[in-house]
Structure 1
């Protein structure tokens, strides 16, 4: 069945919002004071992001492809795997979905934002930072993390076994994200998705959160540019070697 562009954009919007609710919601649960999951740890966060990708791919993979990530959309377009005329609408839907999802996290955790006085913990519920304060490391981590994500996701969803059983492939993609957060998430988070970082960072800058500190705009280009570059390379290798 071929869906209309509007339906595809709705899927990208809702799918990206779901990603934010599960992913950044897990961070908020672990990092903000007086939550039921306060100090739940890194595995809680990794699980949140894994499910945050798995569920939208299960929900909307057959509708829009469930890119839920501007880097994935651009990477496929650059490599001739996605029509250029749908790139901008997809990215706009993803950006707006990220705003909606982050606002849900903010509203549901509002009392805990008020209780928290750690600016780094608050910022971490919105966007990524580099744990070593090293921009080169920041770029490399986001580049290689997104490279692994895109290559792995395309292989799972596009190779014969994945096409024959898209539900199983979608679940495996969620486990790829879960594994990437546990293995490569230490330096930066990771973001692996420009929408997941840029739009929540913007909300962090404008929302009235006590003790929120700086939004660190000087480095905000890194989790936008590096995932796009990594995704393009990952999609290129998939197309050359396996498509």
Structure 2
């Protein structure tokens, strides 16, 4: 493979692992007759944090972006390549390839979660609990305020990644921050800002599994809540871009 091919595969595998473990912990907490049933929101946030850790570990060659909002934010900060082992230059084609790989990986990871918990999906009587394994939803539905929450959470994620060097001097992605620090960053975002919306902070993480929910033959699954689906896509994109642009102005003054 050429470097872009290696990076594409890296993003697919890393994002698939992230979603498998992240949505997997939600399944363990939410679905009927699981060992972790009722484990609570803290268990979910810890699981998601270390799901990101695992994805970053295996996706070094691409820079371990695993998130279109991070891709766009790092580009907005002025990076000229995606970092990692592949050192793919930033252009329209490579950007689209990264985002496509993340979406594909997220769909794959969500499908594997369904396979792992197939019997529990069959036993679960509440359709909303099944959808909640795959995608986020607001505690109080108010599209404008939900959008603001996603913007804030993603801004924090991307701004800290860039501040650590993940968007400057030709470096990029979560790999530049490091697997453990980014896991702790995602964990604290979840515990502090995650309550209103379930903190998607990643368009691929929400849209990919939502597509999987829509296409999979899940018993009694109900609808996929497409009316809300734009919020965890648009909000993180805005938050990531704002973080990238403001980092150009603020970080020289702060670091």
Both proteins in one fold, TM over 0.5: yes
Q: In structure 2, do the counterparts of structure 1 residues 147 and 69 end up closer, same or farther at CA, with 3 Å as the change threshold?
A: same
Q: 1:218 corresponds to which residue?
A: 227
Of 187, 211, 218, the match for 1:178: 187
Give the 3 Å change call, closer, same or farther, for CA 194–50 of structure 1 in structure 2: same
Deviations 1:105-141 (A, max 9, x none): 0100000000001111111101011110111121011
1:66 aligns with 2:64: yes
Identify which of 123, 142, 145 aligns with 2:131: 123
Match of 2:13 in 1: 14
What's the counterpart of residue 236 of structure 2? 227
**8 Å Cα contact 1:79/1:239 also seen in 2:** yes
- Does the CA contact (< 8 Å) of 1:35 and 1:112 recur in 2? yes
Counterpart in the other structure of 1:43: 42
Give the one of 180, 185, 197 matched to 1:188.
197
Report the count of equivalent residues: 236
Q: Structure 1: any 5+ residue segments left out of the alignment?
A: none
In the TM superposition, residue 159 of structure 1 has moved relative to its aligned partner by 9.0
Kept in 2: contact 1:142–1:227 (CA 8 A): yes
Select the residue among 155, 163, 171 that pairs with 1:155: 163
Contact 1:58 1:167 in 2 (8 A): no
Partner of 2:102: 94
Runs of 4+ in 1 over 6 A off after TM superposition: none
- TM-score by length of structure 2 reads 0.87
Evaluate the alpha carbon distance shift between residue 159 and residue 68 of structure 1 in structure 2; reply closer, same or farther with a 3 A threshold.
closer
Q: 1:76 aligns with which of 74, 90, 94?
A: 74
Unaligned runs of 5+ in 2: 82-89
